[in-house]
Chains A and B, each alone.
Chain A
């Protein structure tokens, strides 16, 4: 029994901007997620992390995007060429989704109870009592007090934290194998953030659910994820266990880590990464971090594309000079 749940290999995603213009927004992304693993996906805005997730859940064509090449394997199902039947078996049942907290979340014209019922009855009919019982159970799982009251409420009556909890409840309703959480705590209070993160941890532990947690906050990801995948300018450039983040094998990961705000002494200088990530459509050849890298050499720009190499069991890096710079994995 393999422990791999899903694998994305060398994925390329393009988007149809106008009738004539296509842009590549993800170029060579690879990712493996195991059963019961909490995987963090981190990158700056525009790094392609959200699009990667959309590819995973199959909502690319809504935005005029499509998979140009590569493969996505989920429990043996090929998601790139999946049929409607395949998707019907996956959606709501095997994959759950938690949207960005900043973007409203639950359907504003439906009561919470109705939405939960929707999530709960994805497969086969259940009696009204069963549905209600399960809905209340889910709400309690996500630590919402007075769930009976909440069931009758509309989203606008809830706080941001509560809305996210409801979204989590809907996502875990059918006990999915994988949950994709796209920046689920952005915009929430710090305390609420911590609570939600704890909740996700707890869910993973109790139900052995794999979770992909997308964020731009390395702190957050580091605190609860087993492993971290780093993306930059549309490519996955490093994968490592979160315990090894201080001994990362790519300059970008180091730079991200070093620019954490809690590292700054009072009145000290903030460390930033120089430059901006290259914009979509204007990606340079070779390593796309080259212009911002402290260790750049000519070979970095000439090797195109920058290969995503396995360094050891648990670590991958796209930096071709990682051995010289860091002397290999520790």
Chain B
């Protein structure tokens, strides 16, 4: 998880900066906290970029020769190194790197010559689409299940549910995919084995199975956390007070059952977004979906290091900010969350 709770120094740093801009915002505690966390999100993103940079250069093996292959000529390798800006010293490289990044230039693909930014722009929407759908469905299904089972407090239901979900979670997603393909595509013709056709509604034919698989996995993870949270909420004293006060059913469901239980789920979901991005790599390879995951894999196989680096940064920064917004949203929902 990206957010570190209770990290005094970032707030102090934020305050230091704030001292210079005292006249700006009303310094309500909430505003200050949000400001502090925003600063922290940016600082983590900075390190994300540093790490992405470092990884691509620190690893043994030279990107240029990796790209051109073992038998390439010295001159070709040197030319490529020059093109990639690798022939200057590391600090200079870093400086160039930051400069490029600030202009939004993530580099250019060695394979296709298209800018990395454009590649991401072309491939990410698809990935985002099916991930978003998976999250939506998973959440919608998790809420009734988690609340029903958690609130009932029946040990047998809870136990069987946890066992079932732990099996689903433990199974690698590509195996679930294989079995699903075997069942749905090979033995029946309910889904194409792979491929993609852009544009709605044709794309649904290709997307429904990956979305279904993702949804299954996600809902196992999310509903477990929600379940645990609902069980905790159930034993709280304020719930008892709410019952005695005779609160209406709908109100009770939202304010006394669901809302106090959502915070851990929201935080988890924002964290899972990042993990899901990772998992898309495999799913997109299996289903041959032209999303960002598959792009990354082909870039790796082709040693197209600007694309790899650029995609890395993209994933990292997205995860940082998703996590931050998730924490923020959870805080707005439930003040017990430590921001």
Residues of A within 8 A of B (CB): 57-59, 62, 87-88, 90-93, 95-97, 99-100, 103-110, 114, 118-119, 122, 154-156, 167, 170
Contacts A92-B246, A170-B245 known; 20 new A-B pairs at CB < 8 A: A57-B244, A62-B240, A87-B246, A90-B246, A92-B247, A96-B244, A97-B240, A97-B244, A97-B245, A99-B237, A100-B237, A104-B236, A104-B238, A105-B241, A107-B255, A108-B260, A108-B336, A110-B255, A122-B245, A154-B335
> Please, how many angstroms separate the alpha-carbon atoms of A87 and B240 in the complex?
14
Which residues of B lie under 8 Å from residue A106 when comparing CB positions?
Answer: 238
Q: For residues 231 through 290 of chain B, which have their beta carbon under 8 Å from a beta carbon of chain A?
A: 236-238, 240-247, 251, 255-256, 259-260
Contact B336 A122 (CB under 8 A): no
Count A-B contacts at CB 8 Å: 72
Residue B168 at the A interface, CB < 8 A? no
Minimum CB–CB distance from A212 to chain B (whole Å) comes to: 13
> Please, how many angstroms separate the alpha-carbon atoms of A45 and B44 in the complex?
51
Which residues of A lie under 8 Å from residue B238 when comparing CB positions?
Answer: 99, 104-108
Contact A109 B237 (CB under 8 A): no
Q: Which residue of A lies closest to B242 (CB)?
A: A107
Minimum CB–CB distance from A158 to chain B (whole Å) comes to: 12
> Which residue in B246, B251, B259, B260 is a CB contact (below 8 Å) of A91?
B246
Which residues of A lie under 8 Å from residue B251 when comparing CB positions?
Answer: 118
Minimum CB–CB distance from B147 to chain A (whole Å) comes to: 15
Given A107-B255, A107-B256, A109-B260: A62 touches B243 (CB 8 Å cut-off): yes
Which residues of B lie under 8 Å from residue A110 when comparing CB positions?
Answer: 255
Minimum CB–CB distance from A87 to chain B (whole Å) comes to: 8
0/1 per residue, B304-339, Cβ < 8 Å to A?
A: 000000000000000000000000000001111000
Contact A91 B244 (CB under 8 A): yes
> Which residue in A62, A105, A108, A119 is a CB contact (below 8 Å) of B245?
A119
> Please, how many angstroms separate the alpha-carbon atoms of A110 and B247 in the complex?
13
Which residues of A lie under 8 Å from residue B247 when comparing CB positions?
Answer: 92, 118
Contact A109 B245 (CB under 8 A): no
Q: Which residue of B lies closest to A167 (CB)?
A: B241
Which residues of B lie under 8 Å from residue A154 when comparing CB positions?
Answer: 335
> Please, how many angstroms separate the alpha-carbon atoms of A99 and B334 in the complex?
21
> Please, how many angstroms separate the alpha-carbon atoms of A118 and B243 in the complex?
12
- Count how many chain B residues have C-beta atoms less than 8 Å from C-beta atoms of the other chain: 20
Which residues of A lie under 8 Å from residue B237 when comparing CB positions?
Answer: 99-100, 103-105
Given A91-B246, A92-B246, A118-B251: A108 touches B241 (CB 8 Å cut-off): no
Minimum CB–CB distance from A99 to chain B (whole Å) comes to: 5
Which residues of B lie under 8 Å from residue A97 when comparing CB positions?
Answer: 240-241, 244-245
> Please, how many angstroms separate the alpha-carbon atoms of A106 and B241 in the complex?
8
Which residues of B lie under 8 Å from residue A95 when comparing CB positions?
Answer: 244
Which residues of A lie under 8 Å from residue B246 when comparing CB positions?
Answer: 87-88, 90-93, 122
Contact B245 A91 (CB under 8 A): yes
Contact B255 A109 (CB under 8 A): yes
Which residues of A lie under 8 Å from residue B259 when comparing CB positions?
Answer: 109
Which residues of B lie under 8 Å from residue A170 when comparing CB positions?
Answer: 241, 245
Minimum CB–CB distance from B221 to chain A (whole Å) comes to: 23
Minimum CB–CB distance from A115 to chain B (whole Å) comes to: 9
> Please, how many angstroms separate the alpha-carbon atoms of A93 and B246 in the complex?
8
> Please, how many angstroms separate the alpha-carbon atoms of A114 and B259 in the complex?
14
Q: Which residue of A lies closest to B234 (CB)?
A: A62
Which residues of A lie under 8 Å from residue B255 when comparing CB positions?
Answer: 107, 109-110, 114
Contact B240 A156 (CB under 8 A): no
Minimum CB–CB distance from A169 to chain B (whole Å) comes to: 12
> Please, how many angstroms separate the alpha-carbon atoms of A58 and B334 in the complex?
28
A-B contact pairs, 21 of them (CB 8 A): A59-B240, A87-B246, A90-B246, A92-B247, A93-B246, A95-B244, A99-B237, A100-B237, A103-B236, A104-B238, A107-B241, A107-B256, A107-B260, A108-B334, A109-B255, A110-B255, A119-B245, A122-B245, A156-B335, A156-B336, A167-B241
Report, nearest first, the 3 A-B pairs whose CB atoms are least far apart: A91-B246, A92-B246, A103-B237
> Which residue in B244, B335, B336 is a CB contact (below 8 Å) of A59?
B244
Contact A108 B240 (CB under 8 A): no
Contact A99 B245 (CB under 8 A): no
Q: Which residue of A lies closest to B261 (CB)?
A: A109
Q: Which residue of B lies closest to A107 (CB)?
A: B238
Which residues of A lie under 8 Å from residue B243 when comparing CB positions?
Answer: 59, 62, 91
Minimum CB–CB distance from A173 to chain B (whole Å) comes to: 9
Contact A109 B244 (CB under 8 A): no
Contact A99 B260 (CB under 8 A): no
> Please, how many angstroms separate the alpha-carbon atoms of A167 and B336 in the complex?
19
Contact A109 B241 (CB under 8 A): no
